[in-house]
Amino acid sequence: MTIRFAKLASQLVVAAAVAAFAGVASAEEPIKIGVSGPFTGGSSSMGVSMRDGVRLAAEEINKAGGVLGRQLLLVERDDEAKNERGVQIAQELINKEKVTATVGFINTGVALASQRFYQEAKIPVMNNVATGSLVTHQFDDQPENYIFRNAAHDSIQAPMIVEEAITRRGYKKVAILADSTNYGQLGREDLERALGLKGITAVAVEKFNIKDVDMTPQLLKAKAAGAEAVLTYGIGPELAQIANGMTKLGWKVPMIGSWTLSMANFIDNAGPGGEGARMPQTFIQQPTTPKRQAFIINYLRTFNPKNARIDSPVSAAQGYDSVYLLAAAMKQAKAVDGPAIKAALEDLKTPVDGVVTTYNKPFTAKDHEAITANIPVFGEVKGEKVVYAYEADQKKASEIRVKDANAKGALEVKKK
pLDDT of res. 348: 98
First vs last Cα of the chain: how many Å apart? Answer: 74
Phi and psi for 299 in degrees, rounded to 5?
-65, -50
Q: Does 1 fall in a domain? A: no
Q: Does 207 fall in a domain? A: yes
pTM of the entire predicted model: 0.90
Q: Does 194 fall in a domain? A: yes
- Alpha-carbon distances, residue 208 vs 42, 145, 187, 234, 367 (angstroms): 15, 33, 14, 9, 33
Q: CB-based contacts of 168: which residues, under 8 Å, 6+ apart?
A: none
pLDDT of res. 330: 98
DSSP state of 103: E
160 & 276 share domain:
yes
Q: Does 402 fall in a domain? A: no
- pLDDT (tens, 9 = 90+) of the chain, 416 residues, equals 444 434 444 454 444 444 444 444 345 899 999 999 999 998 999 999 999 999 999 999 999 999 999 999 999 999 999 999 999 999 999 999 999 999 999 999 999 999 999 999 999 999 999 999 999 999 999 999 999 999 999 999 999 999 999 999 999 999 999 999 999 999 999 999 999 999 999 999 999 999 999 999 999 999 999 999 999 999 989 999 999 999 999 999 999 999 999 999 999 999 999 999 999 999 999 999 999 999 999 999 999 999 999 999 999 999 999 999 999 999 999 999 999 999 999 999 999 999 999 999 999 999 999 999 999 999 999 999 999 999 999 999 999 999 998 886 656 544 33
Phi and psi for 403 in degrees, rounded to 5?
-60, 135
- Alpha-carbon distances, residue 365 vs 40, 410, 412 (angstroms): 35, 19, 18
Q: CB-based contacts of 107: which residues, under 8 Å, 6+ apart?
A: 38, 43, 79, 81, 86, 130, 181, 182, 183
Task: Work out how many domains the chain is built from and give that number.
Answer: 2
143 & 162 share domain:
no
pLDDT of res. 411: 62
Q: Does 141 fall in a domain? A: yes
243 & 382 share domain:
yes
47 & 192 share domain:
no
**Dihedral sign (CA 133, 138, 144, 146):** negative
343 & 315 share domain:
yes
134 & 206 share domain:
no
**Dihedral sign (CA 5, 11, 13, 16):** negative
pLDDT of res. 409: 64
Q: Does 24 fall in a domain? A: no
Q: Does 412 fall in a domain? A: no
**Dihedral sign (CA 18, 20, 23, 24):** negative
pLDDT of res. 14: 43
Q: Is residue 104 within a helix (H) or strand (E), and if so which, with residue range?
A: strand 101-104
Q: Does 140 fall in a domain? A: yes
Q: What is the CATH number of the domain that holds 52?
A: 3.40.50.2300
Phi and psi for 312 in degrees, rounded to 5?
-140, 85
Q: CB-based contacts of 135: which residues, under 8 Å, 6+ apart?
A: 105, 108, 111, 112, 115, 127, 147, 149, 153
173 & 148 share domain:
no
125 & 159 share domain:
no
117 & 99 share domain:
yes
143 & 291 share domain:
yes
Short-list 159, 155, 156, 176, CA closest to 253: 176
42 & 128 share domain:
yes
248 & 212 share domain:
yes
**Domain assignment of residue 143, given as a range:** 29-152+287-371
